[in-house]
Amino acid sequence: MNFESDWELVDWSVTLAADIATSEVSDKTAVGWSYSRWNCFPECLSFFSSYNNDIYLKIEEDGQEPDFRGSLNLTNFISPDTLLCPDTLMACMDTLRAVADLSLYIDQNDYVHAAFSTCCYFELWDTTHANSSIIWHWSEQYPEDFSIIHEAIAPADTTECGAWNFAAQRPSLGQDPGSGYLYCMYQVFDLDPTHQSEAGHPSGEIYISVSTDGGLNWSEGKNVTNTITPQNAPPGECLSEYTPSMRKTVDGECDIMYILDYDAGSVIYTSGAWTLNDVIYHKVSVDSISTTPLVPQNIPFHVAHGILNPAVVVTLDPVYPTSIPPPGGELEFNIEVANHDFYVQTFDVWCDITLPNGQYYGPVIGPVNLTMQSSTAIDRDRIQSVPAGAPVGDYMYNAYLGMYPDSIWCIDNFEFTKQSDGGGDFVEGWLNWGEEFDQWMSNPIFRTEIPQDFAFSGIYPNPFNPTTQFSFALPAASHVKLSVYNLRGQLVSTLVDGMRDAGTHEVAFDASDLASGIYLYRLNAGNNNISGKIVLVK
């Protein structure tokens, strides 16, 4: 694998929630970060924009040249629906948001895992609880499931944990290669009012939780530090574990490191005083971490009454200035479409123009129907003419993504201005041209035909020397495992073990290192199971 030294701008963020993971068994990589959901981000911010984030994830099987435009919106929180007001309980929709941490890990079976914290955020009022939080787990193996690692929801507790701090936060994932168990180390603040600093800040403790089923369930975390800060402790007498991290390989012991802060809070934002602190290296035996009792999985990640549209987006990027002179002129812009979802998605893309009087003209582009593979993106440079007869005033150029014309999943727009009426026909002259949209349709990532049923097309060639190819079709995204065994039932090779999109798939098998003979294969795809023989002849 070759590494380039040039830096690449991935995205914008307002929190320190970013991580990267690499596989020990393949070339797979995963990169994750938070992105603010604030409506004008990154051009503008508010105080609460840092509390209102989604987590984005980009997984690359070969670890090379990732196209970050096609990243997966992992959390994809549902925005408020004001049509449900005045019932604000229903209108709020999702009231969880990602905040300031993220841990990525790729396990020994090559599945990507993510752990992160969410705060309570109420977008209708742009406010949050002081410290309430939940630590969540997600995995590539079970992409529909978000599991609770630690729940620390206490709306009535207004204790200030310090800037950028929440009651439970900063998870760090690892795995014991012997047992296959997952471990998560994290920080929890002791909100007992008798254990707070002189400035009124609680002290942090380090907890560890274990999962025996790939992250679907987690044990109640064990406090492995259990240091108690004296009541009203002045600077120098607090015992607050802070900024912890854990080694990803848990080889019988969890190796963790943290700062022992002698004045609780966060001095970067003057939440506490400056102190000279120790950095602690701490080993915890896995035998001391009980696998029971389990954390109740009783809080949904998304509200049940919300309609979770696929994580597909359209983005307009105009070339400024966008002021049209009286004789008319042209707008140059780029339109980008990206599928951040975990599955293949089919939808329409179209554009229209909001006139100064509030009416709409168009569509001036589309509708263009697309079927896009997961984690893909494409863009086109276009030019929009504005005729001399267009009336003076402020306009809005709109791009939509959804099911034309009534179902809109995503919208983006930019403003432009017509300086004065130059005379002539208003209706004619709204021409649009540039890079062809039919190239979208001819690109392989947009020509996906979704089969109606599961189909195994067979192996070709068979007999073979030394390579052959398996072909199968999936009607829906499924977990696929394809393995090859010798006649004694011993595993020779695992060719596939992970999620695959709907569509047709081909998997190559190279038997260069194997002896001639008969081998067995087994394909498991969702509820479908296929097995048979292949013959290697050298």
CATH of the domain at 393: 2.60.40.3880
What CATH number does residue 522 fall under?
2.60.40.1930
Do the domain assignments include residue 310?
no
89 versus 247: the higher-pLDDT residue is: 247
| Domain final position from 446, 476, 506 | 446
Q: Which of 64-68, 140-144, 197-201, 387-391 has the lowest mean pLDDT?
A: 64-68
The three-state secondary structure class of 337 is strand
Indicate whether 434 and 463 sit together in one domain: no
pLDDT band at 2 (very low <50, low <70, confident <90, very high): low
Indicate whether 323 and 373 sit together in one domain: yes
Average of per-residue pLDDT across 304-313? 76
Report whether pLDDT(156) > 90. Answer: no
| pLDDT on residue 267 | 66
Indicate whether 460 and 442 sit together in one domain: no
Which of 499, 479, 481, 471 shows the shortest CA–CA distance to 374?
499
Indicate whether 465 and 436 sit together in one domain: no
Report yes or no on whether pTM surpasses 0.85.
no
* Chain mean pLDDT for the chain: 88
Tokens representing residue 240 in the block: 């607050």
The segment with the largest mean pLDDT, out of 154-163, 380-389, 503-512, is 380-389
| pLDDT on residue 63 | 81
443 versus 228: the higher-pLDDT residue is: 228
Half-sphere exposure of 192 (CA within 13 A, CB side): 11
Report whether pLDDT(330) > 90. Answer: yes
pLDDT band at 407 (very low <50, low <70, confident <90, very high): confident
Indicate whether 263 and 227 sit together in one domain: yes
Which of 327, 474, 331, 335 shows the shortest CA–CA distance to 415?
331
Do the domain assignments include residue 490?
yes
Half-sphere exposure of 287 (CA within 13 A, CB side): 1
Q: Which of 17-21, 231-235, 370-374 has the lowest mean pLDDT?
A: 370-374
Indicate whether 393 and 465 sit together in one domain: no
419 versus 146: the higher-pLDDT residue is: 146
Average of per-residue pLDDT across 462-467? 92
**Distances from the Cα of 492 to the Cαs of 208, 312, 521, 532, in angstroms?**
36, 39, 10, 15
Do the domain assignments include residue 411?
yes
Residues of the domain holding 353: 315-446
Sign of the torsion formed by the C-alpha atoms of 400, 37, 343 and 306: negative
Indicate whether 494 and 513 sit together in one domain: yes
pLDDT digits (tens, 9 = 90+) for 219-251: 999 999 999 999 999 999 999 999 999 999 999
| pLDDT on residue 5 | 59
Do the domain assignments include residue 96?
yes
Average of per-residue pLDDT across 135-151? 94
In the chain, how many domains are there?
Answer: 3
Q: Which of 237-241, 321-325, 445-449 has the lowest mean pLDDT?
A: 445-449
| pLDDT on residue 426 | 64
Which of 206, 207, 186, 203 shows the shortest CA–CA distance to 265?
203
| pLDDT on residue 528 | 87
Do the domain assignments include residue 26?
no
Do the domain assignments include residue 426?
yes
Average of per-residue pLDDT across 267-282? 85
Q: Which helix (H) or strand (E) holds 242?
A: strand 240-246
| pLDDT on residue 450 | 65
Indicate whether 504 and 359 sit together in one domain: no
Do the domain assignments include residue 386?
yes
Indicate whether 347 and 468 sit together in one domain: no
Which of 416, 411, 399 shows the shortest CA–CA distance to 363?
399
Indicate whether 423 and 529 sit together in one domain: no
Do the domain assignments include residue 58?
no
Indicate whether 395 and 418 sit together in one domain: yes
pLDDT band at 1 (very low <50, low <70, confident <90, very high): very low
Average of per-residue pLDDT across 277-296? 96
Indicate whether 134 and 116 sit together in one domain: yes
